[in-house]
């Protein structure tokens, strides 16, 4: 008769929360637990090239699926993944980090066990995890299932990582399967606070046209439907921050563009900062998405909707959850008799002629052509740097999802995250945009991506070094140089067996490569796009200027 264990209980709870793939790297303290993952009928083990990549992959998966899991071994493995877990914490991505640890009996001896610091203290790394996770537990037999439920519930509610230290003997400890689903947190909105908020918002809005600035928390808090209902209730001009890019339909005539404070396109800046009434929904201003906090928004004309409270002017209403506040605003627009005037299309909506085929590639030509190549369903992952800021100002087709990491900003993140995103939605083709320097950090995962039978389009922007850093300081400094790779051979060397590789130095070569990518949906297509070393997207120039020593980005 098969024994049902604490490890099985944890896996069943993960499946309940929507997890179908578990990322990680084997180590002797987690091997028996991995046997249970492999044997589970509803889970697939995805072994990664290293722990950092595993964490990035889990992050990409969690952004699209709403929950992810990564397994490492004690000490060496969990510290290797810590950078990725910290990024998930900063950017509100629910990832469960499961650490296979020494048995409780072995820990009790306080001996110098491998992967420990040798001092008999086996909670060093648990204490570290408290700084980058929303809930933690070192599991013990008597309370393991209760603690698993507590940590998983917090991860689901707070949309941040959780940490479970699973000793080998606790993992195999016999227990009972879950008797009921994990209880959901309910009742987070006070009816009275919501009613007072609606009254204050009604008075401020009056007959004014509403303008909306939305950000990533709308997505993380599962309020996209409520936002779309608000935008459909009237003619509502709207924009997002770069953090929330693709949150709304960017092909809509009511979409203004990306707001980045003083670095915004002037029509977008005026529309947001001079709006008679502005709604900021799920907005978190960070340095790199706000033009270094250069936003000029008048609180007196602003309705700010946060995760658990909303403000109208200077009045604060709490507890009011974000979806409920958005619905209240929709009802206000639905009730009033006046309708706002339609928006006149801007110059951005005008189609452009393609460049001559012989024209050398530039940042502008590259991002224009890539944007034209995207189709509904693509998941675009743009690494922090010229890729992220080059694409940020371009309108994406409806149905395209954009993933970046503008707050944590760990270069190389998007390549393994593409694995997670691709497995989260295998019917959607990932498109990776990454600089040559960033790709060198995590490129090992290309082999795993091929093994998992994904067929992404990978665009490596070869601008010969760390261009963002060149823009900030050290234009020709040696520390911003990298070793030049032969990208035509990299994929095959890493075990990719079904791939096409292109090197594009002109518009025509790029056009040919992207045309071939569209014709070969079942193959990985790697395009090395060669652009000038000091060619920098305009948005990045504006954003980098305040960080350079003389206050202006060097070209």
Domain hosting residue 158, numbered range = 6-172
Binding-site annotation: residue ranges for Mg(2+)? 436, 463, 465
Between the CA atoms of 534, 538, 540 and 544, what dihedral angle is there, to the nearest 10 degrees?
80
Other Cβ atoms closer than 10 A to 274: 12
Q: Which two tokens stand for residue 26?
A: 């084997």
Task: Tell me whether residue 356 is in a domain.
Answer: no
Residues 409-440: tens digit of each pLDDT: 999 999 999 999 999 999 999 999 999 999 99
Domain end position, chosen among 172, 203, 233: 172
Q: Which residues are catalytic?
A: 28, 51, 114-115, 409, 436, 463, 465, 469
Instruction: Check residue 299 and give its pLDDT.
Output: 96
Q: Which two tokens stand for residue 124?
A: 């060093």
- Asked if the peptide bond before residue 395 counts as cis, ω within 30 degrees of 0, the response is no
The SS3 assignment for 282 reads: coil
Residues 245 and 159 in one domain: no
Residues 200 and 309 in one domain: yes
Instruction: Check residue 267 and give its pLDDT.
Output: 96
Mean pLDDT of the chain: 94
Beta pairing class for 310-312 and 315-317: antiparallel
Q: Would the pLDDT of 348 be above 70? A: no
pLDDT band at residue 342 under the 50/70/90 scheme: confident
Domain end position, chosen among 139, 172, 205: 172
Residues 167 and 204 in one domain: no
- Residues recorded for the chain: 555
Task: Tell me whether residue 291 is in a domain.
Answer: yes
Give me the half-sphere count of Cα atoms (radius 13 Å) on the Cβ side of residue 297. Answer: 23
Q: 197-206, 373-382, 530-539 — which is least confidently predicted?
A: 530-539
Mean pLDDT computed over 508-514: 97
**Who wins on pLDDT, 353 or 495?**
495
Which residues are bridge partners to 83 per DSSP? none
Q: 28-42, 304-318, 461-475 — which is least confidently predicted?
A: 461-475
The SS3 assignment for 268 reads: helix
Query: Residue ranges of the alpha helices (H) in 42-123?
Result: 51-65, 76-90, 104-109
Residues 331 and 369 in one domain: no
Instruction: Check residue 477 and give its pLDDT.
Output: 93
Q: Would the pLDDT of 552 be above 70? A: no
Mean pLDDT computed over 172-179: 96
Task: Tell me whether residue 508 is in a domain.
Answer: yes
Mean pLDDT computed over 457-466: 96
Instruction: Check residue 554 and give its pLDDT.
Output: 34
pLDDT band at residue 1 under the 50/70/90 scheme: low
Residues 216 and 270 in one domain: yes
Instruction: Check residue 545 and give its pLDDT.
Output: 67
Q: How would you class 32 by CB atoms within 10 Å of its CB: exposed for 0-12, middle for 13-18, buried for 19 or more?
A: middle
Mean pLDDT computed over 466-476: 87
Instruction: Check residue 349 and give its pLDDT.
Output: 47
pLDDT band at residue 555 under the 50/70/90 scheme: very low
Q: Which two tokens stand for residue 16?
A: 């309940």
Other Cβ atoms closer than 10 A to 399: 14
Whether 538 contacts 545, CB under 8 Å? no
Residues 122-170: tens digit of each pLDDT: 999 999 999 999 999 999 999 999 999 999 999 999 999 999 999 999 9
CATH of the domain at 531: 3.40.50.970
Q: Would the pLDDT of 336 be above 50? A: yes
Residues 48 and 163 in one domain: yes
Q: Would the pLDDT of 550 be above 60? A: no
Task: Tell me whether residue 321 is in a domain.
Answer: yes
The SS3 assignment for 117 reads: coil
Task: Tell me whether residue 95 is in a domain.
Answer: yes
Give CA–CA dist 384/390, Å, rounded.
10
Q: Which two tokens stand for residue 161?
A: 């990582």
Residues 381 and 522 in one domain: yes
3-state secondary structure 295-312: CCCCHHHEEEECCCCEEE
Nearest in space to 276 (alpha carbons), one of 241, 237, 306 = 237
Residues 182-239: tens digit of each pLDDT: 998 877 899 999 999 999 999 999 999 999 999 999 999 999 999 999 999 999 999 9
Residues 300 and 404 in one domain: no
Instruction: Check residue 430 and give its pLDDT.
Output: 98
Q: Which two tokens stand for residue 225?
A: 């439907």
Q: Which two tokens stand for residue 10?
A: 């944890």
Give CA–CA dist 459/337, Å, rounded.
50
The SS3 assignment for 101 reads: strand
Task: Tell me whether residue 355 is in a domain.
Answer: no
Task: Tell me whether residue 354 is in a domain.
Answer: no
Residues 122 and 258 in one domain: no
Residues 44 and 120 in one domain: yes
Residues 85-107: tens digit of each pLDDT: 999 999 999 999 999 999 999 99
Residues 97 and 218 in one domain: no
Q: Would the pLDDT of 546 be above 70? A: no
Give DSSP secondary structure letters for 330-341. Answer: HHHHHH-S--PP
Whether 84 contacts 58, CB under 8 Å? yes
User: How many domains would you assign to the chain?
Assistant: 3
Q: 70-84, 335-349, 368-382 — which is least confidently predicted?
A: 335-349
Residues 208 and 156 in one domain: no
CATH of the domain at 297: 3.40.50.1220
Task: Tell me whether residue 459 is in a domain.
Answer: yes
Domain end position, chosen among 319, 335, 351: 335
């Amino acid at each position: 008769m098969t024994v049902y264990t604490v490890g099985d209980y944890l896996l069943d709870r993960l499946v309940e929360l929507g997890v179908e793939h578990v990322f990680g790297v084997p180590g002797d303290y987690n091997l028996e637990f991995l046997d249970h993952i492999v044997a589970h009928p509803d889970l697939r083990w995805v072994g990664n090239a290293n722990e950092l990549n595993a964490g990035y992959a889990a992050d990409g998966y969690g952004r699209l699926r709403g929950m992810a899991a990564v397994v490492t071994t004690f000490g060496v493995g969990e510290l290797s993944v810590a950078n990725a877990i910290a990024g998930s914490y900063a950017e509100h991505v629910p990832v469960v980090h499961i650490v296979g640890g020494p048995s409780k009996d072995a820990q009790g001896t306080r001996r110098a066990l491998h992967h420990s610091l040798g001092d008999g203290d086996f909670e060093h790394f648990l204490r570290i995890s408290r700084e980058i996770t929303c809930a933690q537990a070192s599991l013990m037999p008597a309370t393991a299932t209760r603690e698993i439920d507590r940590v998983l519930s917090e991860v689901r509610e707070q949309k941040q990582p959780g940490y479970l230290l699973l000793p080998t003997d606790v993992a195999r400890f016999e227990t009972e399967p879950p008797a009921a689903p994990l209880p959901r947190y309910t009742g987070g909105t006070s009816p009275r606070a919501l009613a007072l908020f609606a009254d204050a918002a009604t008075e401020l809005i009056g007959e004014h046209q509403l303008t909306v600035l939305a950000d990533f928390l709308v997505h993380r808090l599962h309020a996209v439907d409520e936002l779309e209902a608000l935008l459909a209730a009237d003619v509502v001009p709207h924009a997002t921050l770069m953090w929330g890019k693709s949150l709304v339909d960017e092909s809509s005539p009511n979409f203004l563009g990306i707001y980045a404070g003083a670095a915004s396109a002037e029509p977008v800046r005026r529309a947001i900062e001079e709006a008679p009434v502005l709604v900021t929904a799920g907005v978190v201003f960070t340095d790199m998405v706000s033009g270094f906090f250069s936003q000029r928004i008048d609180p007196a004309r602003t309705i700010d909707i946060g995760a658990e409270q909303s403000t109208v002017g200077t009045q604060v209403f709490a507890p009011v959850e974000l979806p409920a506040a958005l619905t209240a605003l929709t009802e206000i627009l639905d009730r009033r008799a006046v309708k706002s005037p339609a928006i006149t299309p801007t110059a951005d909506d005008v189609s452009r002629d393609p460049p001559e085929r012989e024209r050398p590639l530039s940042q502008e030509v590259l991002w224009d052509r890539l944007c034209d190549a995207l189709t509904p369903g693509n998941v675009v992952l743009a690494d922090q740097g010229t890729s992220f800021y080059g694409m940020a100002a371009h309108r994406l087709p409806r149905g395209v999802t954009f993933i970046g990491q503008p707050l944590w900003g760990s270069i190389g993140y998007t390549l393994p995250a593409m694995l997670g995103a691709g497995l989260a939605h295998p019917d959607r083709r990932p498109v990776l945009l990454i600089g040559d320097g960033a790709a060198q950090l995590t490129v090992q995962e290309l082999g795993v991506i091929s093994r998992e039978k994904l067929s992404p389009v990978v665009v490596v922007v070869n601008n010969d070094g760390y261009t963002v850093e060149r823009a900030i300081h050290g234009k020709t400094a040696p520390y911003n140089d990298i070793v030049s790779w032969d990208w035509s051979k990299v994929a095959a060397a890493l075990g990719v067996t079904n791939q096409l590789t292109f090197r594009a130095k002109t518009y025509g070569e790029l056009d040919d490569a992207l045309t071939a990518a569209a014709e070969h949906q079942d193959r990985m297509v790697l395009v090395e796009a060669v652009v000038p070393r000091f060619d920098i997207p305009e948005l990045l120039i504006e954003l980098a200027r305040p960080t350079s020593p003389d206050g202006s980005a060097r070209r």
